Amino acid sequence: MFKYNDDNFIFDVSWTSISTHSKFDELFKKTWIEKEEKNLFRYKYKSQNVVRLPGKYQFIKVLNIDRATKRRTPASFHKVLQPFDDSLFNFTKINHEEYLFKLESPYNSCENSSDDILAINSSPLGDFHSLILPKISSKLPQSINNYSLHLSLQILLLSASPAMRIGYNSLCAYASVNHLHLHFYYLPYKMYLETCEVEYLSGSCYIIKDYPGKGFVFFLCSIDKILDLVRIF
């Protein structure tokens, strides 16, 4: 179990100190490597297959044949919102050896934080690719909510690395399991979106001005604003 509070949150990270690790980074990477040594993954991710494309946006291209050929067969979904179906594969059915550790903090201790679990992604698509499993035994469908967003922001702030990335994809957007989860991994490349020009919209929300895809940017500058940011969604 990893216990944390406000004192563990890190707001200032830099690409000039990419090798800096927090207590969370150290425990997470150490435990992840131990799982790899136990052969709990379907394959070993090869970071040498990453290529930065030329051009203004400096996109990253990854060749990962193993994920296409060795991953668990994804379930088929026809709607973005579907009820949880216990007869299908879900994360309560994986080998518990794939769990990294549980999370506990003052934010969620009253809501059974021991049910918030980090687990390896047995078919990794990046360095240390893992899963955030909020309230795993509640068997929530793959639909992001305030609780899972709040938990994910906390995990992001626990890392001292600018390479930490957290992502979410819904059903019908390549999510392969209808059980609430988010992805996180370390991508050791500075991305265009980290410094792109934005236009103020309202509150803490800005609009990305120059990018092939439309999007919003939200600024979080202090821990006392985290709940306000989560409530926007």
Residue 131 sits at φ, ψ, to 5 deg, of -125, 140
Q: Let me know: does 31 contact 101? Beta carbons within 8 Å.
A: yes
The rounded distance, in Å, linking the Cα atoms of 177 and 33 is 24
Q: Is 206 exposed, middle or buried (0-12, 13-18, 19+ CB in 10 A)?
A: middle
Q: Which of 170, 165, 143, 145 is nearest to 155 (CA)?
A: 165
Residue 181 a catalytic site member:
yes
Q: Which of 216, 209, 220, 133 is nearest to 177 (CA)?
A: 133
Which of 129, 150, 179, 181 does the annotation list as catalytic?
181
Q: How many CB atoms lie within 10 A of CB 152?
A: 20
The rounded distance, in Å, linking the Cα atoms of 183 and 170 is 12
Tell me which residues are annotated as active site.
181
